[in-house]
Structure 1
């Protein structure tokens, strides 16, 4: 049987004339931080102080000593960042130039000093650029010339922290006769039968050549194990893989390097996206046996049975883009995912679980892994499998023209093959996407003339990548890019065809303009806001915070980001003068309202619009950005708003023509029968008119109701508003911007009561006037505190109960300092 030795201990980083202790997996920055050589690049403006790290060569060294009775010993690197040479006992073992691949080198019988030398990513990029020629991109850094995490070089939400190191595990594998070199499970459903076709490749030693071997596969009964990490080895597992009853088993004998094995599982439970059903996962166990029946190698994963396709049919509205899972059409409630840390080796399985659980808590059912990051660790996809989060996986190309010449072309193909095979066992993976915005960029970002016919990546997106997916993983759909209209017959970002990115609104318009069109599938849109106040105070110690203070500007990477933030506020509110707390609150309000405006409108137009993917879920450091969860993991009000607008049942008042239309959006699997109460109010809380409507929305449908004129506030009125209530859900409509509305000075009573669970306290707010967009900022109570509510609109006499955890020094006066509303008290 194969033996594995993890090489996590005994590494050192060579720095100047000293050897510093190194952590593997890790990177140069984490080791220099641990040794006190560099300051934390996340704090203040330290990013500029550590820029030199990315422009130097680095070496990791250890002593490799091993003995084994096996015929073969391989040195295996799951991830090297990025251009490296491996030297053992003074001799070169091999070279690498791709962060996104694994590498294996035969070191049988070889011991001695082991050194991994990393060339600066800038030097490697310059070398490739000299071979291929210049290509345009949207940032001044050379990320398109090196197969490395593009956002290492900075983005409009991320710092420039150019890493190097062994960012994924390193190990020795000792084996004899043969080993499993690749297992591809093609999992499908045929009627009531689950089918598993295993395409297996083996590598043999010289003595194993031509030797009869047996491949045995078993599918065990459904289980839902948790993602865990072995503290000693760092190896990630997913709970019990094969438990309970054996549902199917099969053997095949072969004497070559490849074999195919097929299993039928009768009547499997289907895997569903969250909100549509359960997520049963079945243990799949593959064993390679020698001719005498002794095991040589094993491979274990969890699989699920489901079908997935994208309906791209033409219709009277254009060309659709609708996910269909197990025959059910799905409105995708998505978020975009970026690397959760600009130093990705720091992201643990536990951190993945926390972040993705936060996504599920916001009623998200799809996570798009954006193409400027990484193919995430298997632990990420394990959690998505368990939680029912569909995964849209970009191939790693973003916002640039990519050369198609060597040495990049061969690396791109090898990288794609490695990651398709690695990730395809994960049931949550529902789409392969060729790139982020490059097809759009070629058409609209003035690339064609400077390219003058040079390659720019089209051959990857329309040729290489769909060919690889069709060959290796035909069970999943592929799309050439996001956005992409399906062919060059339409503009790549035409909202009427395929996927659409909506950025004109944030860049130039009021968020009300989201309602100007109905894209078939909005794969990117968003609005910025600063992170939580406690996050800013940690990241900018000692700074007097202001929107334009030095640290705030450094942690704002978007072009004219603060200008766009301020203009977004000014369209609705008077811009606060020298009141950072008020500015911070209003920026959060506008972000939440903006995203809600888009989602409410587009959901109300289902099934023409079949999905929204908010930019973005998470951050990779403390920064003003479009994220719903900031760089310290704190929830912005946007996260709570996503939970509302992504819920199965959504009540909304959507502006449409002369006045708002009531929309009852039911994405649940059962009918929604309810009574909607509509009340027309004056600003002082007086009810002008009230009516109730009994409505029913069938499963997965939207009901729209044009309201009687008598219920509608007069257009342009500054002292009337409309409220709709049903089943604990609320929608409000104000006919003018807040700064033109006669908001009363917000008055409310506050008391604190013990929480129901004993580990929290309840902040109870009783409104004495209209209180619009009341927000308790829990980090103002304690940096560790969290609250279960975001923005709330209360009518006179109404009470809200906000559960707060992580706060023990209870004080009503402190609560009042942490409460904000549109009509300041």
Structure 2
């Protein structure tokens, strides 16, 4: 809702950097060199624009004073200044008088001032050095993740303070909007809005507003229904009404994320208050009471997605245009959830709106992580309560909000330091935050911490786990089932390689190669070592020798392997009968160029790992699970609301092209269903399809499963099984590529192979393939749409190479 009379203060800001204590008052800034500064924005962002800051080698910013100033022209009179976010210790000076001091970057602040026609607004961000030196109550546990222990007593983001985890770019400045409005404005103001779906499918909407005057005859309209605004107290009004048969909000994997405009009608005028969606959220703890699964609108939903950090570490704003490519790539990959962890910032308004629109559920941590926070400090606790209430008021109207969580890895950190269950009890996540969540967002499930739940909070077999068994702990792929994962709030962190453009020419032999990979502080290994471990296991090569002798081959296999591990793990977790009800990869996007945890490169391009993972996350899916001496089980999933007549085909290939076995069956996939078909039932007789019995030489190298629409023949999903592993010998695959024009003028490739192609991929300097890093069966043509890169000339035509992990040579093409 845009308020009449409120305007942003966005233009003509200047910024000055000063040694600590140089200027006590704004007039002392006169004559000092300043640079233009974007607002909302950060000091780092302004310095980069001025050519004075290198994000690759960031300088400290929180050890100096940083001053922003702007001239504000308004009608004289009483006005209100509103600050959505100030990082972090800030003095607000208005016409030479300090009118406000702030100390929490997550809080919204407001102050009334007397305005002249022309006014000077100065924001002085003081260095954190003094506050970092103060003595805090003794912490019960410590963390190696964060470089400055005293940050536990300061309400600022931990981004920029986690060496090896993200670039050390410190957040300083008015990072969220600054507004000014008349203090006597009497326009109605939306306070809160809550939408819910009853069990019978009826929507329920409650709108709370405040106004200085009467709201006689005012009503709220939504989706064809109307609610009268009734006065509930001095200056407060509420509309509480039902909406029969309203279209519900679904995550993108399970339906349409229906949104409905909410409109205030008063005095013959209409004002759009916003949009909302109607959904009902429940939690299924499982038969043993130890699980965690989400139920949306009465339907169990397998949540899959990734951890959101930021799409713009410099500015932290996560504006719509910055977030959209990342979120659209997530939805295209089959994701239905993102988690905002407790070590960054709360989800921005634009991020929330996009999640609403795209059908992405949001798991929101309150912004607390790893530390033992000083809740015995009354001022600190009071500030935290205001912060949490403000966050809940902003978050709760959004239908994407699905889980609230008390923070990240606080209970885990305490447990790993050896504290008993009694000593690691935390009043913040165990008392204050759940109480506030119950008051402000009672229909949203609350989780005390991620991870939490078991005998030890990080055990993945109960409650919420952070599963790195497959991954950092280098367990075999089978551990994903053995660990009995119930819900992975984080998992599968690898140093995921981007395409060539994302490496900017850097090679494994370069001196700075290892610096491109994330690393846990204090560890003698990094996440490239983790990737190399699985490269050795899956492709049976020596990573170090391969990197030295054939760096191109090393990069090719390294791009393939993390996606292969993720795909096999998620296939295990999505199978019928799995204990797992959700998993979120660390992380969705890189915070800097390189080989970070992100599934999307810092520039916004999906990495090979995401492309590979996407092929096991479809709403209509066939999965192939190796059950050893019990053969190969085929899992058929239909998450959609409609039944589907399908054809399932199985083909076992020798030497990548010779069929030694074929079978097929038509069947009906019921809506919202999953079923298992043992491969032997499809075949009709014994065949050692998993090569478990080994009565003779291996008869085939790959089994191809295909699920197609029984009427149209459209391929809905494919699955592949490698009975002797993925290290297929390079061969002439008979790749052919034809460039084609689509009806809308875009480009596409028609690709075929005469032999099985493993991890087929497209490399094109001007175009991105919308389907990439997939396996291609022989004689099964694939049409791949191309999307022009933002950096490509408008008249560029496709020109590149199609290749595969097991190809002796790729096939070039030119449009």
TM-score when normalising by structure 2: 0.86
Structure 2 residue 754 is matched with structure 1 residue 768: yes
- Structure 1 counterpart of 2:6: 4
Cα distance between partner residues in 2 of 1:791 and 1:294: 57
Q: In 1, distance between residues paired with 2:496 and 2:253? A: 31
Instruction: Provide the rounded CA distance (Å) in 2 between the counterparts of 1:134 and 1:272.
Output: 42
Q: CA deviation at 1:569?
A: 0.9
The offset of 1:644, in angstroms, is 1.9
> Which residue is 2:707 aligned to?
726
Residue 549 in structure 1 maps to residue 510 in structure 2: yes
- Identify the residue that residue 450 of structure 2 maps to in structure 1: 482
Shift in Å at residue 284 of structure 1? 2.4
Displacement of 1:432 in angstroms is: 0.9
Q: Which residue is equivalent to 2:195? A: 187
* Cα 1:811/1:373, change in 2 over 3 Å: closer
The Cα of 1:593 is off from its aligned counterpart by 0.9
Distance 2:36 2:640 in 1: 54
Partner Cα distance (2:537, 2:780) in 1 = 29
Cα distance between partner residues in 2 of 1:347 and 1:423: 15
- Which SS does the other structure have where 1:720 is aligned? coil
**Partners of 1:276 and 1:705 in 2: CA distance:** 23
Q: In the alignment, does 2:793 pair up with 1:803? A: no
Equivalent residues of 2:41, 2:176 under 8 A apart: yes
Residues in 2 aligned to 1:18 and 1:151: alpha-carbon distance in whole angstroms: 29
Q: Can you list the C-alpha shifts for 1:730-753, whole angstroms capped at 9, x where unaligned? A: 2221123334x5x25243233332
CA distance 1:114–1:577, change in 2 (3 Å): closer
- Other-structure match for 1:108: 114
Give the superposition deviation at 1:647: 0.7
Contact 2:497/2:608 (<8 A) preserved: no
Aligned residue pairs total 756
Change (3 A) 1:179 1:403: farther
Equivalent-residue separation in structure 2 for 1:2 and 1:177 (angstroms): 8
Computed over aligned residues only, the root mean square deviation of the Cα atoms, in angstroms, reads 3.0
Q: Which residue of 2 aligns with 1:252?
A: 230
Residues 36-65 of structure 1 deviation map (CA, whole Å, 9 limit, x = unaligned): 2223x1xxxx32xx3233422211122344
Judge conservation of contact 2:496–2:599 (CA < 8 Å) in 1. Answer: no
CA apart distance, 1:262: 2.1
Does 1:491 pair with 2:456?
yes
Gap change, CA 1:663 and 1:281, over 3 Å in 2: closer
Q: Distance in 2 between matches of 1:267 and 1:669?
A: 17
**Matched-pair contact (CA < 8 Å) for 2:141–2:414:** no
Gap change, CA 1:267 and 1:403, over 3 Å in 2: same
CA contact (8 A) 2:306 2:587 kept: yes
Higher RCO by CA contacts (8 Å cutoff, separation 6 or greater): 1
Q: Which of the residues 553, 557, 567 maps onto 1:582?
A: 553
Q: Cα deviation per residue 1:76-114 (whole Å; 9 max; x = unaligned)?
A: 111111111112233221111111111101112467432
**Alignment partner, residue 155 of structure 2:** 147
Distance in 2 (alpha carbons) for counterparts of 1:496 and 1:592:
24
Q: What is the rounded CA distance, in whole Å, between the counterparts of 2:537 and 2:739 in structure 1?
A: 38
Cα distance in 2, alignment partners of residues 347 and 598 from structure 1: 30
Residue 325 (str. 1) matches residue 296 (str. 2): yes
Hey, what's the Cα distance between the residues in 1 that align with 2:260 and 2:743?
Answer: 35
What SS does structure 2 have at the residue aligned with 1:505? Answer: coil
Residue 647 of structure 2 aligns to a residue whose secondary structure is strand
1:124 and 2:165 correspond: no
Shift of 1:595: 1.0
Asked if structure 2 preserves the Cα contact closer than 8 Å seen for 1:744 and 1:770, the reply is no
Describe the shift of the 1:116–1:273 C-alpha distance in structure 2 as closer, same or farther (beyond 3 A).
same
Q: Would the aligned equivalents of 2:147 and 2:163 in 1 still touch at CA under 8 Å?
A: no
The CA distance in 1 between the partners of 2:371 and 2:311, in whole Å, is 22
Distance in 2 (alpha carbons) for counterparts of 1:180 and 1:460: 35
2 CA distance for matches of 1:126 and 1:511? Answer: 46
**Counterpart Cα distance in 2 of 1:120 and 1:215:** 51
5+ residue gaps, structure 1, are 205-211, 223-244, 539-543
Write the distance in 2 (CA, Å) between the matches of 1:101 and 1:627. Answer: 29
Q: Deviations over 1:732-784 (max 9, x none)?
A: 21123334x5x25243233332232464433344323332222223xxx21x4
CA contact (8 A) 1:637 1:790 kept: yes
| Mapping 1:109-508, distance limit 5 Å | 109=115, 112-127=119-134, 130=136, 135-142=141-148, 143-154=151-162, 156-176=164-184, 183-190=191-198, 191=200, 193-200=202-209, 213-214=214-215, 218-222=219-223, 247-253=225-231, 256=234, 258-286=236-264, 300-312=273-285, 314-316=286-288, 318-345=289-316, 347-406=318-377, 407-443=379-415, 445-446=416-417, 448=419, 458-485=426-453, 490-507=455-472, 508=474
- Unaligned runs of 5+ residues in structure 2 are 19-31, 521-525, 681-685, 709-714, 810-815
SS for the counterpart of 1:220 is: strand
Deviation at 1:25, TM superposition (A): 0.9
CA deviation string 1:646-676 (max 9, x = no partner)? 1111112112232432221222223344332
Q: In structure 2, what is the equivalent of residue 52 of structure 1? A: 60
Contact 2:491 2:586 in 1 (8 A): yes
1:524 and 2:490 are equivalent in the alignment: yes
How many angstroms apart in 1 are the aligned matches of 2:107 and 2:264? Answer: 23
How far apart, in 2, do the equivalents of 1:597 and 1:700 lie? 23
Question: Are 2:31 and 1:66 equivalent residues in the alignment?
Answer: no
| Residues 551, 220 of structure 1: alpha-carbon distance in 2 compared, 3 angstrom cutoff | farther
Deviation at 1:169, TM superposition (A): 1.0
Judging changes above 3 Å, is the alpha-carbon distance between structure 1 residues 606 and 340 closer, same or farther for their aligned structure 2 residues?
farther
Residue 703 of structure 1: how far off its partner (Å): 1.6
Aligned residues of 2:94 and 2:122 also touching (Cα < 8 A): yes
Structure 1 residues 590 and 515, CA gap change in structure 2 (3 angstroms) = farther
Is the 1:185–1:199 Cα contact (8 Å) retained in structure 2? yes
- Secondary structure of the equivalent of 1:324? strand
Q: Secondary structure, in 3 states, of the residue corresponding to 1:738?
A: coil
The question of whether the paired residues in 2 share the 8 Å contact of 1:651 and 1:731 is answered with yes
Gap change, CA 1:347 and 1:101, over 3 Å in 2 = same
Distance 1:123 1:555, change over 3 A: farther
How far residue 564 of structure 1 moved from its aligned partner, in angstroms, is: 1.5
Residues 757 and 160 of structure 1: CA distance in aligned 2, closer, same or farther (over 3 Å): farther
* Aligned with residue 627 of structure 1, among 564, 578, 598: 598
Shift of 1:713: 4.7
Partner of residue 236, structure 1: none
Residues 219/252 of structure 1: CA separation in 2 closer, same or farther (3 Å cut): closer
Contact 2:13–2:70 (CA<8 Å) still a contact in 1?
yes
Q: CA deviation at 1:181?
A: 6.8
Q: Which moved more, 1:365-374 or 1:142-151?
A: 142-151
Superposed, 1:702-781 pairs within 5 Å as: 702-708=674-680, 709-715=686-692, 720-721=700-701, 722-727=703-708, 728=715, 729-739=717-727, 741=728, 743-757=729-743, 759-777=745-763, 781=764
CA contact (8 A) 2:625 2:634 kept: yes
Partner Cα separation in structure 2 for residue 356 and residue 713 of structure 1: 38
Separation in 1 of the partners of 2:219 and 2:698? 69
Question: How much does 1:135 deviate?
Answer: 4.9
Residues 335 and 368 in structure 1, CA contact (< 8 A), matched pair in contact too: yes
CA–CA distance in structure 1, aligned partners of residues 565 and 495 of structure 2: 11
- Contact conserved, 1:518 with 1:605, CA < 8 A, in 2? no
| CA displacement 1:415-440 (0-9 Å, x = unmatched) | 11001001111111122111122222
Post-superposition offset of 1:473:
1.5
Q: Distance in 2 between matches of 1:265 and 1:280?
A: 14
Separation (CA, whole Å) in 1 of partners of 2:755 and 2:255: 43
Q: CA deviation at 1:680?
A: 2.4
- 2:712 corresponding residue in structure 1: none
Residues 1:216 and 1:556: Cα distance change in structure 2 (over 3 Å): farther
